[in-house]
Structure 1
Amino acid sequence: MAKFNRVLAIVLDSIGIGEAPDAAKYHDEGADTLGHIGEFFNGQLALPYLQAMGLGNIRQDNPISGVAPVSEPSGYFGKMYEISAGKDSMDGHWEMMGLPVTEPLGFFPNGFPDALIKQIEDFSGRHVIVNKPYSGTEVLTDYGEEQLKTGDLIVYTSGDSVLQIAANTAIIPLEELYKICEYARSITIDAPYRIGRVIARPYTGTDKSNFTRTSDRHDYALLPNAPTDLDRLQQAGVPTFGIGKINDIFSGQGIDAGVHTTSNVDGMNQTIATMKSDQSGFIFANLVDFDAMYGHRRNPQGDGDALETFDRQLGELIDVLQPDDLLLITADHGNDPGFRGTDHTREFVPLLAFSKSLPGGGDLGIRSPFSDLGATVLENFGVRGNGVGHSFLDALQ
């Protein structure tokens, strides 16, 4: 019999909590997403619900400015670091679900090979421009007007294993963009490319002053190369429900049902509605704005504002939780808005656990791999795992 009737895990996409032990390997020494956001807000970062759960207690030796430790946390607190050979969203989410990515994915810091670009051009009948690492918003400023004139495809990448195709939907309809991305996905699954995600990046606007990316983004991730904890839950008859880009990250594998979201606020509204419903089992949510809107754009003000908005909605969520619900809050990697560059950062991620039926106040310590989260979900529902990760369910008492 399950200890909790439902487990809800919310991933604050990119909200790291300080450099990971192997940060130097990724040239990320000094990265600290939450720490630098707190510093930018000069002690005025207001996250009362997260703070009450114990967010500040995770770093008592190096406090987050504005989020001090509390004497009696309502939740359980700790942090995790990953073992996957990368710091992409796919790596982090797969590892949470018992499938660390041990084989490095393909990275193309100098742009994609001519042979791959030609295949995309031949399939689409459109010329490809850019083909190098770029900020997703700056590439529109620099090349969006050219695309409007020529109908060319904007192809770019980042420090992650991603191939992104941006298209103004006024000249390249959404259905056409998706079809091109589906083709690009089909030819980049195996070596020599093995790209983690192909991402469709539709946008609107008439010139660089008003180009705006839309919520119709679609991620085409690799199919998991082995069963995940989502598959194990599904096979055991435990319902699984994805919110946000969860379905994309797992290519629908192991997900019974889910909802697309347009923003963090929409994601939390959908999460609150789900927890008000009779949905049971495991609910897995991702809030992507921290990453896509603020982290990559190195915007600490926006990141902090979004955290404060999330915290207010977290209060609404807590109100509707039942005593037999377990809430887990974590992240998939860092994306420090106070750091150099525009890419993800290799960091610890926060881990908070909360239930109205639990006294709180427990220190979960440092957990590795991220698979400890999935192992905890499995143990709660009495489902056997693959031995990757160790449950912290017993610590929640």
Structure 2
Amino acid sequence: MSKYQRVFVIVVDSLGAGAAKDAADYGDAGADTLGHISQSVEHFYIPHLQKLGIGNLHPLCQVPPVEHPLAYYTRLNETSRGKDTMTGHWEIMGLKTEKPFITFTENGFPKELIEELEKRTGHKVIGNKSASGTQILDELGEEEIATGHMIVYTSADSVLQICGNEETFDLKELYRCCEIARELTMRDEWKVGRVIARPYIGRKKGEFKRTSNRHDYAVKPFGKTALDALKENGFDVISIGKINDIFAGEGITKVLKSKSSVHGMEQTIETAQTEEFHGLCFVNLVDFDALWGHRRDPKGYAQEIERFDEKLGELLKNLRKDDLLIITADHGNDPTYTGTDHTREKVPFLAYSKAMEGGRELPEGDTFAVIGATVAENFGVPMPQGTIGTSMLSYLK
């Protein structure tokens, strides 16, 4: 019998909670996404996270600890090499990545790759550098519309991104080009974690807007995860947000695409209200990272956390006594730090159920994989061979 019938794991994308033990090895000593956001704003109102124990977990200027936190709380270190989205999520579900994905931040993609991409797609490539999505559109969007050329760019992540105007480039054509790029970047020397289709609308600089028709073409996980274990044993695995893309569909039984982090929370609330599932609802809320972390906007990030907290209050009301909620992150992205890259940080772990007598602090974890192991043990499912992580289920009373 499952201790909890439904488990909700929500990944607040990039909400790091202080420098990881090995942060200095990644050039991230002193990074602290959550703490520095708190220091950067005058008001920070997150009452539901506060009740769960976020202020007990990590010192925050405006959010003092509570005497009786509702959740069990701690911070988790990452054991995989790297600090990107896929590495973090894969580790959450049991996989340790030994070799970081390749990045092309410094000089863009190799000439040989670009020439092959142009030949196969029939489009001349423009851009080919590291840039923010809004910056590259303002710089090259008008040229793409006028010429039919194709904007290709990267970032501090292991990604190849292609922009396409939905009205002039055509969404199907954008996806076709991305599928070709994914095939090419499966070669070891060019292998990136994700190829991302970045559709947009608008006709001139200052008016371009990216749409929700983004699509990620991710490398498949190199081994089976807790998601596969659940699915193979007849349990539901519901993906909300970009979870399905991150795991390339492996181990997923139902997919809900989100237009924003707020929309993702609304989908999670509706799932809690209406879905009689038995298994896992796995949620990624990407706006924290994409809109605020990479753009180094602590005020915008703080406001996004407040919007999340408001929706969290609605979710808490709709949880049943046999539901378990786990809130965590996949890496950091300190909006006050140098550069625009992710930061190697510990991530929060908050676990709450209405069946609990009350929360307390747990020992700090050496891997994100305790989460997948906890979910698997709850449903009586053995973790796949080669995975890591020790369950924390016995702590959650």
TM-score normalised by length of structure 2: 0.97
Q: What is the match of residue 33 of structure 1? A: 33
Q: 1:210-249 deviations in whole A, cap 9, x for unaligned?
A: 1111111111110111111100111111111100101000
Give matches, 1:162-311, under 5 Å: 162-277=159-274, 278-311=276-309
Aligned to 1:86: 82
Partner of 2:51: 52
> 2:372 aligned to 355, 371, 374, which one?
374
Q: For this pair of structures, how many residues does the alignment match?
A: 393
Letter in 2 for 1:97: M
1:342 corresponds to which of 329, 335, 340: 340
For residue 366 of structure 1, give the secondary structure of its aligned residue in structure 2: coil
One of 69, 92, 95 as aligned partner of 2:91: 95
Which residue pairs with 2:67 in the alignment?
71
Q: Distance in 1 between matches of 2:362 and 2:154?
A: 37
The alpha carbon displacement at 1:280 in A equals: 2.2
Partner of 1:331: 329
Q: Is the 8 A contact 2:23 2:29 kept in 1?
A: yes
Does the aligned pair in 2 maintain the 1:13–1:286 contact within 8 Å? Answer: yes
Match of 1:21 in 2: 21
8 A contact 1:81–1:369 mirrored in 2: yes
C-alpha distance in structure 2 between counterparts of 1:138 and 1:341, whole Å: 15
Counterpart for residue 11 of structure 2? 11
Distance 2:357 2:108 in 1: 52
Which deviations, in whole Å up to 9, do the C-alpha atoms of 1:291-311 show, x marking residues without a partner?
111111111111111110110
How many angstroms does 1:77 deviate by?
A: 0.6
Q: Distance in 2 between matches of 1:362 and 1:236?
A: 32
SS for the counterpart of 1:100 is coil
The answer to whether the 8 Å contact 1:360/1:396 transfers is no
Q: Please say if residues 121 and 180 of structure 2, whose CA atoms lie closer than 8 Å, have aligned partners that are also in contact.
A: no
Structure 2 stretches of 5 or more lacking a match? none
Question: What is the distance in 2 between the residues matched to 1:21 and 1:141?
Answer: 39
Counterpart amino acid of residue 4 in structure 2: F
Report what 2:111 is aligned to.
114
1:393 corresponding residue in structure 2: 393
Contact 2:108/2:128 (CA < 8 Å) preserved in 1? Answer: yes
Question: 3-state SS of the aligned residue for 1:220?
Answer: strand
> Partners in 2 of 1:104 and 1:88 — Cα distance?
9
Gaps of 5+ in 1: none
1:313 aligned residue: 311
For residues 144 and 346 of structure 1, what CA distance do their matches in structure 2 show? 33
Q: What's the TM-score, normalizing by structure 1?
A: 0.97
Deviation track 1:63-112 (CA, whole Å, cap 9, x = no partner) reads 11112111110111111111121111111111111112112211112111
What amino acid does structure 2 have at the position aligned with 1:334? G
Any conservation in 2 of the 1:86–1:105 contact (CA below 8 Å)?
Answer: yes
How many percent identity over aligned positions? 52
Deviations 1:35-58 (A, max 9, x none): 11101113x211110011011111
Choose 384-393 or 225-234, whichever is displaced more.
Answer: 384-393
Aligned AA (2:24): A
Residues of 2 paired with 1:296 and 1:6: CA distance? Answer: 33
* Structure 1 stretches of at least 4 aligned residues deviating more than 2 Å after TM superposition: none
**RMSD of aligned residue pairs (Cα, Å):** 1.1
Q: Secondary structure at the match of 2:163?
A: strand
CA contact (8 A) 1:75 1:359 kept: no
